[in-house]
Structure 1
Amino acid sequence: MAQVFFIPHGGGPLPLLGDPGYARLASMLRALQPRLDGSKAIILVTAHWEAEQPRLATSPHPGMLFDYYGFPEESYRYGYPAPGAPDLVEPVVSALAAQGIGAQLDPERGFDHGTFVPMMLMRPEADIPILQMSLMSSLDAERHLAVGRGLAALLDQDITLIGSGFSFHNIQALIGRSRVDREAGYALAKSFHDWIDEAVCGEGLRADQRAERLAAWETAPGARFCHPREEHLLPLHVCLGAAIEAGMAVTKIFGEPVKGYQTSGYHWQAA
């Protein structure tokens, strides 16, 4: 079944470590496990990898990349032995080329925590091949929508697309060091997510209007408070571009506060 997910993956390994602030997020990710049944492979766009052009991890047996610091020792011993998906590399390169987007190959890159943290919860069996894919370092919203439009061509082959980011990613706020008062920050996050939810899920919007709104995400109330830097939001642009191109219907699958700040997740499938 063709499907697309945008998921918030949390802060570092905290969803795996049982941090109470991430309990509802971790529970949602675990509940997605059966929805991946029947997926032949996963294309996973991670917020924790950027390159000039979309970069693809081509190893048939990716290792682990512990790209965080200051966490308990156990969080550096995780393993996620899902195979890579080298057979998907050529089709993805061709699909991106159709949008005028080049791609780079990386045979060394392992699974970063934008991949292995949510996947350990969503698919602990590690039985589905994963092609890990980077963002573009330009962080251009329109170009990431175009990446999604290209990837849509592959979704009718029982391939699942996952955008792994975080719809609220102000680290200083999450660790309690924001210059903005906490209650004011909660209100800004709520306003931003109301705007994003309307753009993604609101009734009465045409597909092109959804794309236009997400391309202009910086105009949303609270946008730059929620995303001082937008890399954790852009996987959503890839997902929306693919889902629109494939004519999919959307369901909101997460709408809970994380550490007090509103957060959203979405699932698209054939209408």
Structure 2
Amino acid sequence: MSDNHTPRLPTYFISHGGGPWPWMKKEMGTAYSQLEAALADMPRQIGRTPRAILMVSAHWEAPAFTLQASPKPPMIYDYGGFPAHTYQVHYDAPGSPELARRVQQLIAAAGLPAALDAERGFDHGAFSPMAAIYPQADVPMVQLSLKRGLDPAEHLALGRALAPLRDEDVLIVGSGLSYHNLRNFGPQAHDVSKAFDDWLDQTVVQGAPGERAARLNDWSSAPSARIAHPREEHLIPLMVAVGAAESEAGVRVYHEDAFMGGLVVSSFRFGPAQA
């Protein structure tokens, strides 16, 4: 637990990039330079090393909100078509069964379904961005699944249930992508990705915090919404980050208007930076 003099941690929604990109700099050149720099800046913004990370990745869905409960989670190489060496990479952060149980209790106390999974490993929605944020893998990390059905209201409620963790020195990170349509990438997707990104910025940065939940709950009515997210698993982690910082200002901490050849993408922080 943090003491009374330790400021509460912010929450984040990050765009995590594609597959095992931190281990492909030779193949990809500078394609991820801006994203990597933004992720690497998060420890400076936070101002201290958190006790642990609670990571909500787009790449895990379960019937109930499920927590990784292994003290030493294995790796899940949940991607295809990448160089052979990317199936040998390791991000060996320790798990935290204690934190998993604490989070399970918070979720259950909010009347939401919660479970533990002692076998689940780290997927690339967790280990790829974390390789840039904490490259030494020395901060314990617990993954938390999305709930099947991907209901925005349920995931906003999940975030509200998790809010006490921010005062317990646990950093809540929602990991997805602000634009995720693998069939419409590149320059031809610039305008539709910009339309949705502009709506996101208006909703979570420029708009009043009290109006965010209603707008996010109705996200599919946003401009280009179903082009940006034909299936919304990469957007739903945003709901968790917002729910856990519902009354606090949002800031865009990463923005690129030609990602992967033409996409407009962003990441956001909720709550103030400490440094």
Q: What TM-score comes out, normalization by structure 1 length?
A: 0.91
Give the aligned partner of residue 3 of structure 2: none
Distance apart, 1:270 and its partner CA:
4.7
CA 87–7 in structure 1, closer or farther in 2 if over 3 Å, else same: same
Give the aligned partner of residue 13 of structure 1: 20
Equivalents in 2 of 1:34, 1:79: separation in Å? 24
Equivalents in 1 of 2:78, 2:223: separation in Å? 31
Give the aligned partner of residue 84 of structure 1: 95
Amino acid at match of 2:256: E
Structure 2: stretches of 5+ with no match in the other structure? 1-7
Distance apart, 1:32 and its partner CA:
2.2
Distance apart, 1:206 and its partner CA:
4.1
Equivalents in 2 of 1:93, 1:32: separation in Å? 26
Give the aligned partner of residue 119 of structure 2: 108
Distance apart, 1:82 and its partner CA:
0.7
CA 266–101 in structure 1, closer or farther in 2 if over 3 Å, else same: same
1:30 to 35, 40, 44: 40
**RMSD between aligned alpha carbons?**
1.6
Give the aligned partner of residue 190 of structure 1: 194
Equivalents in 1 of 2:45, 2:87: separation in Å? 28
Q: What TM-score comes out, normalization by structure 2 length?
A: 0.90
CA 234–112 in structure 1, closer or farther in 2 if over 3 Å, else same: same
Amino acid at match of 1:193: D
Any idea what the Cα deviations from partners look like across 1:94-115, whole Å, max 9, x if unmatched? 2112321011111011111011
Amino acid at match of 2:251: T
Amino acid at match of 2:263: Y
Percent identity of the aligned residues? 43
Deviating more after overlay: 54-63 vs 19-28: 19-28
Distance apart, 1:221 and its partner CA:
0.5
1:75 to 81, 86, 102: 86
CA 21–38 in structure 1, closer or farther in 2 if over 3 Å, else same: closer
Report whether the alignment pairs 1:66 with 2:77: yes
Instruction: Please say if residues 249 and 272 of structure 2, whose CA atoms lie closer than 8 Å, have aligned partners that are also in contact.
Output: yes
Any idea what the Cα deviations from partners look like across 1:55-88, whole Å, max 9, x if unmatched? 1110001111111111001211111111001111
Give the aligned partner of residue 219 of structure 2: 217
Q: Secondary structure at the match of 1:138?
A: coil
Any idea what the Cα deviations from partners look like across 1:19-44, whole Å, max 9, x if unmatched? 24333212222222434532001100
Report whether the alignment pairs 1:251 with 2:255: no
Give the aligned partner of residue 142 of structure 2: 131
Instruction: Please say if residues 168 and 262 of structure 1, whose CA atoms lie closer than 8 Å, have aligned partners that are also in contact.
Output: yes
Amino acid at match of 2:79: Y
Distance apart, 1:14 and its partner CA:
2.5
Q: Secondary structure at the match of 2:90?
A: coil
Q: How does 1:162-173 map to 2 (within 5 A)?
A: 162-173=173-184
Instruction: Please say if residues 199 and 222 of structure 2, whose CA atoms lie closer than 8 Å, have aligned partners that are also in contact.
Output: yes
Distance apart, 1:241 and its partner CA:
0.6
Instruction: Please say if residues 209 and 248 of structure 2, whose CA atoms lie closer than 8 Å, have aligned partners that are also in contact.
Output: no
Any idea what the Cα deviations from partners look like across 1:197-223, whole Å, max 9, x if unmatched? 1110014x242x110001110000010
Q: How does 1:118-157 map to 2 (within 5 A)?
A: 118-157=129-168
Equivalents in 1 of 2:38, 2:272: separation in Å? 21
Q: How does 1:171-186 map to 2 (within 5 A)?
A: 171-174=182-185, 182-183=187-188, 185-186=189-190
Distance apart, 1:16 and its partner CA:
3.5
State how many pairs are aligned.
260
Deviating more after overlay: 11-20 vs 161-170: 11-20
Instruction: Please say if residues 3 and 159 of structure 1, whose CA atoms lie closer than 8 Å, have aligned partners that are also in contact.
Output: no
